[in-house]
Amino acid sequence: AEPTLEEHLSEFAQEGLRTLVLGRRSISQDDFEKWHTDYERAQNAMQDREGRLAQVAEDLESGMEIVGATGIEDKLQDDVAETIVKIRE
């Protein structure tokens, strides 16, 4: 049997890869305009900006058709490992 998406993602994670799931859905012009207005309000919010942006993203990302997934190696930039060690000391 073909491996499931969950199995692929688990394998990617076990290999230490950063995962990205790709999805899509069609929305009407009216839905886009409402989302865009909500996004701009969240972007300009003085309180709980991150929470509001997360909610707007979640609203748009619901009901998507999964079209694929990928796992990429995400190497640390030079000296990042040493910096992390120093911060922890």
* pLDDT score at 70: 87
The yes-or-no verdict on residue 62 having pLDDT over 80 is yes
Say which range, 3-17, 31-45, 74-88, has the weakest mean pLDDT: 74-88
Mean pLDDT (whole number) for 8-13:
86
Only one residue has tokens 């900006």, namely 49
Q: What is the DSSP string of 33-80?
A: HHHHHHHHHHHT-SSSHHHHHHHHHHHHHTTPEEEEEEEE--PPPTTH
The yes-or-no verdict on residue 84 having pLDDT over 90 is no
Bridge partners for 70 per DSSP: 20
pTM (2 decimals)?
Answer: 0.62
* pLDDT score at 39: 96
Distance CA 83, CA 60 (A): 37
* pLDDT score at 40: 96
- Tokens found for residue 72: 């990429």
